């Protein structure tokens, strides 16, 4: 399946910004469920159930949530093609701030594992994973880690994934991409400030001096989650390090014109002989874009994911 962008979206920034700001997806209301994590926090899960035995679990990107159009679009195509769907909000990404000091981060596969195990305990016979951007990194890292995973996890698809976090952070911080990094940084700062009002252990001194995403990770994401600094966090959390261990059929789709991704995020040759991992690098698509204008409002990424998982 080859992707070509609509004529009106003639560069990578338009391909990235248009769907993020202007796409609307009609979807029936989710069924909300709150589950408790092993460390006495909570995760808010949003379900589309129709009593089927096959499930797709969808993981969102940085500062996203289950209401984003790219999540709803992916949920809709699977729900209308024979799957129950579970979308989930990371810690601090639903309407209520989470309880513990920690938030979510690119390597927090313990929460993804909690969600998967909860779903399997409901009796599903098959689970498939779809992840976008940060959620794609979580998905790929989880599947490649040396951990016990259920044999009921059958396939996975990941889109627009910064599998090398350090170099991708450098890329998104370049002047031509500052509109994206500044937007993320503003949102993250607001969230940290909000949580610090009632979790006194969260030290936000110096927050006003943080000007880049790497500085934020150095001051907050890394130390709060047990890493020495930003570099340690990136090294331990990047999916690239874990991808050799993937043992279920998995598709990674990274567009070559994605403004968020470094050259290290296109390891086609490195994994050309991998038994389970397929990497596709279309020329276009932007970051979490892959827009198509059609009467069904179905994007190329949704068709590609369905074909890979249901095929």
How many angstroms separate the Cα of 35 from the Cα of each of 40, 118, 247, 267?
10, 8, 28, 37
Position 190 pLDDT exceeds 90: yes
Among the listed residues 61, 65, 56, the one whose alpha carbon sits nearest the alpha carbon of residue 32: 65
Position 132 pLDDT exceeds 90: yes
Please identify, in words, the CATH class of the domain defined by 12-166+240-310.
alpha beta
How far is 305 from 311, CA to CA, in rounded Å? 10
Q: Answer for the pair 100, 128: CB distance below 8 angstroms, yes or no.
A: no
Q: Compute how many other C-beta atoms are within 10 angstroms of the C-beta atom of residue 145.
A: 17
Position 189 pLDDT exceeds 80: yes
pLDDT digits (tens, 9 = 90+) for 73-99: 999 999 999 999 999 999 999 999 999
- Provide the pLDDT confidence category of residue 134 given band limits of 50, 70 and 90: very high
**Percentage of the chain with pLDDT > 70?**
100
How far is 187 from 310, CA to CA, in rounded Å? 36
pLDDT digits (tens, 9 = 90+) for 107-127: 999 999 999 999 999 999 999
Query: Does the pTM exceed 0.85?
Result: yes
Q: Compute how many other C-beta atoms are within 10 angstroms of the C-beta atom of residue 86.
A: 27
Q: Answer for the pair 58, 133: CB distance below 8 angstroms, yes or no.
A: no
**Percentage of the chain with pLDDT > 90?**
98
Position 1 pLDDT exceeds 80: no
Determine the pLDDT at residue 179. 94
Determine the pLDDT at residue 311. 87
pLDDT digits (tens, 9 = 90+) for 229-281: 999 999 999 999 999 999 999 999 999 999 999 999 999 999 999 999 999 99
Phi, psi dihedral angles at 305 (to 5 degrees): -65, -45
């Amino acid at each position: 399946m080859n992707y070509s962008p609509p004529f009106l979206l003639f560069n990578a920034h338009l391909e990235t910004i248009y769907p993020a700001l202007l796409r609307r997806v009609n979807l029936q209301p989710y069924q909300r469920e709150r589950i408790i994590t092993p460390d006495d926090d909570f995760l808010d899960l949003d379900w589309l159930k129709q009593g089927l035995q096959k499930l797709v679990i969808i993981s969102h990107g940085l500062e996203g949530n289950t209401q984003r159009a790219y999540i709803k679009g992916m949920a809709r195509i699977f729900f209308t093609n024979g799957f129950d769907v579970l979308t989930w909000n990371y810690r601090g990404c639903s309407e209520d701030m989470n309880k513990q000091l920690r938030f979510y981060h690119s390597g927090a596969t313990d929460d993804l594992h909690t969600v998967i195990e909860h779903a399997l305990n409901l009796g599903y016979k098959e689970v498939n994973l779809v992840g976008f951007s940060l959620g794609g990194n979580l998905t790929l890292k989880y599947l490649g880690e040396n951990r016990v995973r259920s044999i009921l996890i059958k396939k996975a698809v990941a889109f627009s994934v910064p599998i090398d976090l350090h170099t991708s952070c450098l890329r998104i911080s370049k002047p031509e991409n500052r509109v994206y990094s500044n937007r993320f940084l503003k949102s993250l700062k607001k969230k940290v400030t909000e949580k610090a009002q009632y979790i006194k252990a969260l030290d936000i001194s110096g927050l006003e001096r943080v000007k880049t995403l790497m500085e934020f990770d150095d001051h907050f994401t890394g130390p709060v989650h047990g890493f020495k600094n930003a570099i340690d966090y990136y090294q331990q959390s990047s999916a690239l390090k874990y991808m050799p261990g993937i043992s279920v059929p998995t598709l990674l789709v990274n567009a070559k014109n994605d403004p968020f991704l470094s050259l290290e995020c296109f390891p086609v040759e490195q994994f050309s002989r991998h038994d389970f991992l397929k990497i596709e690098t279309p020329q276009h698509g932007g970051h979490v874009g892959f827009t198509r204008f059609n009467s069904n409002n179905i994007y190329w990424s949704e068709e590609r994911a369905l074909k890979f998982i249901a095929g």
